[in-house]
Amino acid sequence: MLGVLFGPPTIRMRVAFQALQVDLTEGEIMAVPKRRVSHARQGKRRSHHHLKARENQYCNRCGVAVKPHSLCWNCGWSNIQGRELVSMETKES
C-alpha cells in the first residue's frame, strides 16, 4: 500500500516492514548493513594501505646499492662500522 503511494519501497521501508512482520514477496528484503561506513572513514582506513618504495643506501667503498643496516653484498663492507666485515677472498676460496 505504501509502495503504491510513494513509489517502490526503500530499504528503510523494507526494514520497517520486516520489524512489523508485514509480508512482502519472498526475496524482496535485502541485507542491510547496521552502520554504513562514510567516505571519510573509508578513506581514513585505507590511508595505511599504500606501499612504500624500498629505500636504498649505497656502499661507501664500492657504491653498489645495498639494503640499509646490512653489509655490502659486493665487497663485504659495513657502512655502520666503517670496515670490511666479510672478506670476499676467503669466502670464495
Contacts to Zn ion by CB under 5 A: 59, 61-62, 72, 74-75, 77
Identify the bridge partners of residue 59 per DSSP, sorted by sequence position: none
Least distance to Zn ion, CB of residue 72, Å? 3
C-alpha dist (Å) from residue 21 to 6, 10, 13, 54: 20, 16, 12, 58
Which CB sits closer to Zn ion, 14 or 61? 61
C-alpha dist (Å) from residue 88 to 11, 77, 85: 71, 10, 9
Which CB sits closer to Zn ion, 13 or 75? 75
Least distance to Zn ion, CB of residue 86, Å? 10
Least distance to Zn ion, CB of residue 77, Å? 4
